[in-house]
Amino acid sequence: MSLDLYPLSSYLRVGFSTQFGWESGMFDRTGDYFIAESASVGFQWPGRFTPFVEGLAGAGYMRRKQATGDLPSGYWQLGVDAGVEIYLAKRGYVSLALGYLHPANLFFDQQNLMSVKADTWSLKVGFGI
């Protein structure tokens, strides 16, 4: 789940995103979960169809459950998104974006920084006002 806020949104867009995710469809203290914050800066062409491109950087905390116990880790990510916002009303819109992310993890118990071997692509679908 993600909540995004764009305090500056003209031709230049500046945004913040808070993300939270958990295993099993409901918050369960015995499952995996994460919480993160990211910031983005980009450009857009305002209109009924508003194409945009933005770079983002973020960090967060993740707890993974393994058979031997918890595996707490911090992580960071750098990425880029490109997409379009389609305005259905004066303020209501649907947002579609394709993104590329490069993450890395810091495992607290092992005290080492490991980069995930495979970068990832993302598909984002959102609704906004």
Q: What domains are there in the chain, each with its CATH number?
A: 2-128 (2.40.160.20)
Average pLDDT over residues 112-121: 68
More confident residue, 109 or 52: 52
129 alpha-carbon distance from chain centroid:
19
Query: Do 29 and 6 contact (CB within 8 A), yes or no?
Result: no
Please report the pLDDT score of residue 9 as a whole number.
Answer: 92
pLDDT tens digit sequence for 30-88: 678 889 999 999 999 999 999 999 999 999 998 877 767 777 888 889 999 999 999 99
Task: For residue 28, give the DSSP letter.
Answer: -
Q: What pLDDT does residue 52 have?
A: 98
Residue 23, SS3?
Answer: helix
Tell me what pLDDT residue 122 has: 92
How far apart (Å, rounded) are the C-alpha atoms in residues 57 and 123?
17
Classify each residue of 2-23 as buried b or exposed e, where b means 16 or more C-beta atoms within 10 Å of its C-beta: eeeebeeeeeebebebeeeebe
CA angle 97, 101, 104 (to 5 degrees): 155
* Torsions phi, psi for 119 (to 5 deg): -65, 170
Interval 9-26: pLDDT, tens: 999 999 999 999 887 655
What is residue 72's predicted lDDT score, i.e. its pLDDT?
Answer: 82
**Is pLDDT at 116 greater than 60 in this prediction?**
no
Cut 0.75: pTM above it: yes
119 or 64, which is more confident: 119
The pLDDT assigned to 129 comes to: 86
The Cα–Cα gap between 66 and 69 comes to 5
In terms of Cα–Cα distance, which of 110, 34, 104 is closest to 75? 104
Percent residues over pLDDT 90 in the chain: 57
Residue 119 has which token pair? 């970068």
For the chain, the distance separating the N- and C-terminal CA atoms, rounded to the nearest angstrom, is 17
